[in-house]
Amino acid sequence: MNLSMETIIKKAEILIEALPYIQKLFGKTVVIKYGGNAMINENLKNSVIEDITLLKYIGMNPVVVHGGGPDITDALNKFNIESKFVEGLRVTDKKTMETAQMVLIGKTNKEIVSLLNQKGGKAIGLSGIDGKLIECEKHKTSVNGEKIDLGYVGKVTKINSKLIEFIAQDEYIPVVAPIGVGKNGESYNINADTVASEIAAALKAEKLMLLTDVEGVKTSDGKIIPALTINEAYSLIEENVINGGMIPKVLGCIEALEKGVNRTHIIDGRIPHCLLLEIFTNKGIGTMIMKEKVLYHKNEKL
């Protein structure tokens, strides 16, 4: 198909718009939490994998942390093991933990690694068990004052980031399954958003990017908020503008920022090439949360 000169010039303008971001982010670490519909829909899956591969080829150090809830649920159903959730966390007995570990490390992780390799990347699959990458303890919670035993659900106590740094700063793309290890060697299932936030903080990443199934943080009248400071985010939580499942995502972003991450992003993984659109365009597509609204360059719109 012949492209018009106008279309060709437009493509060139898009590349030029990306240039200052490529310059600013060269050699920097970007932690990506990969989950939701972007892991299920084949077209979206393909676009995310292409985005991650491109980030590596133009000089960034992407680190992927993936979820896998639907895969775990499918496997549990096949084994006739009932799924139970408390405040969004899966109650994880020994059989559930064994299944989650088998699925996340043996299936989901290796599928992502394989897809990245097919696109020309060099991906290496890891879990928190490898090199005690993610040390954790039992997560404790209560509902209405009553303590609830979630079983083998973990709370991160330490990220041993040396292994990830070694891999990511070379030619490889680390792909991390959110399974942690306790002090006695027991395995724990951990929320992938939490793992991504903790790894980003440990690596002092330039960016933490959470792929979700929502467009971003919205105002009370439904408009996407392109950029927020920490103080603005807290105010919106108090005003109940940020509520429900968005609260833990926003708080995870804030915690990462307070531990040294420069920018955090909540973006819609249902949009093809969502990572490229958020990172390399002046306006972006989701919500960026940062300590202060500091521009990368004069044409950036926050």
Binding residues for substrate: 68-69, 90, 189
β 146-148/207-212 pair status: unpaired
Instruction: Write the CB contacts of 37 (distance below 8 Å, at least 6 apart in sequence).
Output: 44, 213, 269, 270
Q: What are the two backbone dihedrals, phi and then psi, of residue 26, each rounded to the nearest 5 degrees?
A: -60, 125
Tokens of 70: 């639907």
CA distance 179 to 34: 15
Residue found under tokens 């939580």: 237
How far apart, in whole angstroms, are the C-alpha atoms of residue 282 and residue 14? 10
Encode burial over 145-182: b for 16+ CB neighbours within 10 A, e otherwise: eeeeebbbbbbbeebebebbbebbeeebbbbbbbbbbe
* Residue numbers belonging to the annotated binding site: 68-69, 90, 189
CA distance 293 to 148: 40
- Phi, psi of 47, deg, nearest 5: -70, -40
Residue 73 CA neighbour count, 13 Å, CB half: 9
Tell me if 67 sits within 8 A of 178, measured CB to CB.
yes
243 close to 217: Cβ distance less than 8 angstroms: no
Question: Pick from 285, 282, 286: which is nearest to 296 by CA?
Answer: 282
Edge-to-edge, what's the strand order for the sheet holding 287-290?
123-127, 173-177, 61-66, 29-34, 207-212, 263-268, 287-290, 227-229
